[in-house]
Amino acid sequence: NAGVTQTPKFQVLKTGQSMTLQCAQDMNHEYMSWYRQDPGMGLRLIHYSVGAGITDQGEVPNGYNVSRSTTEDFPLRLLSAAPSQTSVYFCASALRVNQPQHFGDGTRLSIL
Amino acid sequence: TQLLEQSPQFLSIQEGENLTVYCNSSSVFSSLQWYRQEPGEGPVLLVTVVTGGEVKKLKRLTFQFGDARKDSSLHITAAQPGDTGLYLCAGAEGGATNKLIFGTGTLLAVQP
């Protein structure tokens, strides 16, 4: 059972570049979300989805897009990378928002 | 956006000491979760509390949900070096928003 799989694990971008962070889960979870974590801090919600075809904004959505075409996949797109987006990004999934969240191993992203 | 404040932000104690971590908000949550995160990994769920005033125990860890469901606490008895990590509370917003908002985090170091 793979759980939540995030790719890539590490990425370095130049300012202005775009990229997509991939997230896939094999637990048939309806709820998926993306967080960013800056050094020594908690997690801030970027976007979330309560099911295929449904997405909504979290606390810090600017500069990021998401889509949920299938139950399994929830990619996060950086439109035009900025140094302020340097962070560790975590994807999580759960049956519902108030159920245990299963996290991926994170993507460590540096924007130069 | 609801804000979940954790205190203290950092805590360094000796093995065998007791400690309490607090998680406070001005808003009501339908449920509250506690996670522990180790370096380089995603958070892992410790417990979920749902009912106001609820107390749950997990070995040496005691979790309490405030009567008004706005705050929570985590008490660790006789801390051990293996308890070292980042402790995060997370509140599930009720109603139609379906957001899970994380607290600011408490970094605990237990010295042998």
Q: Are B100 and A44 an interchain contact pair (Cβ–Cβ within 8 Å)? A: no
End-to-end CA distance of chain A: 36
Cβ <8 Å between B100 and A56: no
Note whether A98 contacts B99, CB cutoff 8 Å: no
Q: Which of B6, B41, B92 sits opposite A98 (nearest CB)?
A: B92
Give pLDDT tens digits along chain A (112 positions).
679 999 999 999 999 999 999 999 999 999 999 999 998 778 999 999 999 999 999 999 999 999 999 999 999 999 999 999 999 999 999 999 889 999 999 999 999 9
Phi and psi of A84, rounded to 5°? -65, -15
Higher confidence at residue B7 or residue B93?
B7
| Sign of the CA dihedral running A51, A54, A58, A60 | positive
Measured CA to CA in angstroms, residue A51 lies from A28, A29, A89, B7 at distances of 10, 8, 21, 34
Q: What is the pLDDT of residue B96?
A: 66
Cβ distance of B107 and A40 shorter than 8 Å? yes
Q: Does B102 touch chain A (CB under 8 A)?
A: yes
Instruction: For residue A101, give how far its alpha carbon lies from the nearest alpha carbon of chain B (Å).
Output: 7
CA distance B112 to chain A (A): 22
Q: Which of B42, B48, B101 sits opposite A105 (nearest CB)?
A: B42
Give the model's pLDDT for residue A1: 62
Residues 6+ apart with CB under 8 A from B11: B19, B21, B106, B107, B108, B109
pLDDT mean over B9-38: 95
For residue A66, give Cα distances in angstroms to A13, A53, B71, B78: 19, 10, 31, 44
Q: Which of A41, A44, A100 sits opposite B45 (nearest CB)?
A: A100
Average pLDDT over residues B54-73: 96
